[in-house]
Amino acid sequence: MSKIGIMGGTFNPIHYGHLLIAENALDQLGLDEVRFLPNGTPPHKHGNEIIEAAHRLHMVACAIKNRPGFIIDDSEITSDTISYTYLTMERFVESHPEHDYYLIMGGDSLYDFSTWKYPERICRCAVLAAAVRDEYQMQQLQTIAFELSKKMNAQITFIQSPNFSVSSSEIRRRISIGQSIRYQLPDSVLDYIMTNHLYQ
């Protein structure tokens, strides 16, 4: 039996904020691996907001290639259906029911988790692992976690992760106006973006 962290996202592009959360999840939860799943067709984002999947997949591969325990999974990108989390998690459990799964997310995602598609089915498949920035956010999220536990029988754990103020949307904005994005993402990802003229 292995403990598997699942970290989904558009990764448009992947940056150090994503990687810090994954690193802390791996260490603090004693995970055997973290699987990065770039979304194929996210249900909450319009197609013109994201670049093609092959580029996003390659950037994730560049970002994690030298970190043992970080794995890339292209199953959502190669799927023809919308990338709903409950379907992805049920597929993992059906394929390998012997593993324990942890769905890694930013702490803010807990606020609207109950609005996700079939959240109770997600809770049957995985422990929710929410990254928290500080004690103040922890206090807020503990209240939400208690409600989710009562309502959906959710198992929730927290990952202590420093507040790294960077976002994919801000990176895209800076690129579009010619500003530097160095130190916000790995150099290998930066090189790929520049070589392929992405977000320009």
Query: Tens digits of per-residue pLDDT, 98-133?
Result: 999 999 999 999 999 999 999 999 999 999 999 998
Whether the CB-CB separation of 21 and 29 falls below 8 Å is answered with no
At 196, the amino acid letter reads N
CA atoms within 13 A on the CB side of 195: 9
Question: What is the DSSP-derived secondary structure letter of residue 115?
Answer: G
**Looking at residue 81, what is its pLDDT?**
80
Distance CA 44, CA 111 (A): 16
Residue 57 token pair? 């997949």
Query: Tens digits of per-residue pLDDT, 9-51?
Result: 999 999 999 999 999 999 999 999 999 999 986 555 554 568 9
At 3 the three-state DSSP class reads strand
Percentage above 90 pLDDT, the chain:
82
**Looking at residue 142, what is its pLDDT?**
94
**Looking at residue 46, what is its pLDDT?**
52
Distance CA 113, CA 144 (A): 10
The pTM assigned to this predicted structure is: 0.93
